[in-house]
Amino acid sequence: MHVTRTGIILRPNNARVLYRPFEPPLPQRALRIVGRVMELDEADVDQLLGDVLGEFHGRHQRLVGFFEERFAAVRHHLLTDRPVSRARQLLIGSYFTQEYALESAALFNPSIILHPDQAGLEPGEARFILSVRATGEGHVSSVGFRAGTIDARGAITIDAPSGFVTAPHVVASAAYDKPLFLSKLAELGIANGLIEPVIAPLEDRFTLHDLEKVLAVTSRQHGSRRREWEPLAAATLALARANYEIECDAASDLSERVIFPYSPAETNGIEDARFVRFIDDDGSARYYATYTAFDGNVTLPQIVETDDFVRFRVSTLNGPEIANKGFALFPRRIRGSYVMLSRQDGENVFVMESEMLHFWHARRLVMRPSCPWEYVQIGNCGSPIETDAGWLVLTHGVGPMRKYSIGAALLDLDDPTRVIGRLEEPLLSANENERAGYVPNVVYTCGALVHEGILVIPYSMSDYATSFATVPLADLLSELTA
């Protein structure tokens, strides 16, 4: 197969920083910090705050508002009810804020989908959104975005990113669907007769505040059964906090938005988002991404959905087959069911079907490592792409010296468990310019697209930077169906 490397490279930029909370490791330290700032006279407060704003305000948007939020989060450490000037509040807030260079280590594992806005383009052009895994201090990963266009000849242009990055805020008014929430509790084995009566009085759509309130009231009432009740209440709140909504500033540039770890399951990062433009049976479009949440010990597949890349809903996936990594949703239902690729055993590719997006109970083996370049393991490289010949699936294979290569397979449109063809040789392997990086000898993608008969593959180079390659779709399908 003839693959064209574009020469475009997106490298990590340690100057792109966002602000985030700074949490001292011990509560006593927070108390002492607040106490020290309260000892300053007002002139010193004004001077210090001026220095902070002068040094950092030009690097961020809405920084003062975040200082206000941070002061509100720590004001319980104040020892008296003495009025605190706004300047002192902001200064205290600044002591509990830190910068984070979200892509200082790597910018890799991209996926690409069509942008919801296709207005104002030349004939034959398409606008796309590229998601990337941004990795910074502590190897914490988040999801960043870039926009760009591709013309009829396959020439790719990436829009220059903004100089700002701002973490989204969590939507406090986000509502939970009670039947779905109860189903997830039951799937996790939390529902045992104690929780259901507590949640039953809640409205069919309730908020996290509503849930916290009823759990707190019930906790005070349990008395002798407190030891049995408290683990259930904690697990219920943990599930709620793992299902949340975040919102970015709608006026911000796409490159300024980021999906940053929020829930306890994501404390060590959000990894390898596989975005897909999903078309429902009524013709409506919605964007989903499966990703891996990592808390430092356990990986947990989750799903995020959005209509506009401004507001995102993050949800847990449930069921006995939700394990390991590499989940990728098909872009439409098949025979009325959602369909997903998976790799529960870390070695083979499976296909799952479900009538409910959030629950997965069965899998069928589809592909096993068969060629020397994939003898260690095989997995998907993003959501399947629908073609007239079948579902085109980019795969990754791991061979000698833990070298990752990208391959391809073709699945039947009506029965995706039937393999029509597979490449016997890699479609793309790391060349000498791509071998050096955080993890050497790796090329990897989390999703491609087809435009004007050209397969566009964004791919990471050794878990460090991102580039693009193109392949004539007809040539690839001809090889897969030969």
193 pLDDT tier (thresholds 50, 70, 90): confident
Whether 192 shows a pLDDT value over 80: the answer reads: no
CA dihedral for 46, 48, 51, 57, sign (positive or negative): negative
Shared domain for 455 and 338, answered yes or no, is yes
Shared domain for 253 and 350, answered yes or no, is yes
Shared domain for 400 and 284, answered yes or no, is yes
pLDDT digits (tens, 9 = 90+) for 75-84: 999 999 999 9
264: which strand partners?
none
223 pLDDT tier (thresholds 50, 70, 90): low
For the chain, the domain total comes to 3
Beta-sheet pairing, 428-429 with 443-444: unpaired
Contact indicator for 145, 110 with CB cutoff of 8 Å? no
Shared domain for 186 and 295, answered yes or no, is no
The Cβ-side half-sphere exposure at 243, using a 13 Å CA radius, reads 24
pLDDT for the residue numbered 196: 86
15 pLDDT tier (thresholds 50, 70, 90): very high
pLDDT digits (tens, 9 = 90+) for 339-356: 999 999 999 999 999 999
Q: What integer best gives the mean pLDDT of the chain?
A: 95
87 pLDDT tier (thresholds 50, 70, 90): very high
Shared domain for 126 and 69, answered yes or no, is no
Q: What is the rounded average pLDDT of the residues 228-237? A: 88
pLDDT digits (tens, 9 = 90+) for 273-294: 999 999 999 999 999 999 999 9
Kindly compute the dihedral angle of the four CA atoms of residues 47, 48, 53, 54, in this order, to the nearest 10 degrees: 60
Q: What is the pTM of this model?
A: 0.94
Domain stop point among 242, 260, 291: 242
Phi, psi of 210 (to 5 degrees): -60, -45
DSSP of 320-383, one letter per residue? TT--SEEEEE-SS-BTTBEEEEEETTSSSEEEEEESSTTB----EEEE---SGGGSSEEEE-SS
What CATH number does the domain containing 332 carry? 2.115.10.20
pLDDT for the residue numbered 416: 98
Shared domain for 145 and 54, answered yes or no, is no
Shared domain for 176 and 157, answered yes or no, is no
Share of the chain above pLDDT 90, in %: 89
Domain stop point among 222, 242, 262: 242
Shared domain for 108 and 77, answered yes or no, is no
Amino acid at 276: V
pLDDT digits (tens, 9 = 90+) for 421-446: 999 999 999 999 999 999 999 999 99
pLDDT for the residue numbered 231: 87
Q: What is the rounded average pLDDT of the residues 148-153? A: 97
pLDDT digits (tens, 9 = 90+) for 254-264: 999 999 999 98
pLDDT for the residue numbered 222: 64
pLDDT for the residue numbered 338: 98
Contact indicator for 67, 93 with CB cutoff of 8 Å? yes
Shared domain for 178 and 144, answered yes or no, is no
Shared domain for 352 and 452, answered yes or no, is yes
Residues in CB range of 348: below 8 A, 6 or more apart: 365, 366, 367, 368, 369, 377, 378
Domain stop point among 225, 242, 259: 242
From residue 464, give the alpha-carbon distance in Å to each of 61, 109, 235, 257, 267.
28, 9, 37, 20, 21
Shared domain for 223 and 362, answered yes or no, is no
pLDDT for the residue numbered 194: 79
Shared domain for 225 and 303, answered yes or no, is no
Which structural domain, as residue segments, surrounds residue 96? 17-101
Q: What is the rounded average pLDDT of the residues 123-135? A: 98
pLDDT digits (tens, 9 = 90+) for 98-116: 999 999 999 999 999 999 9
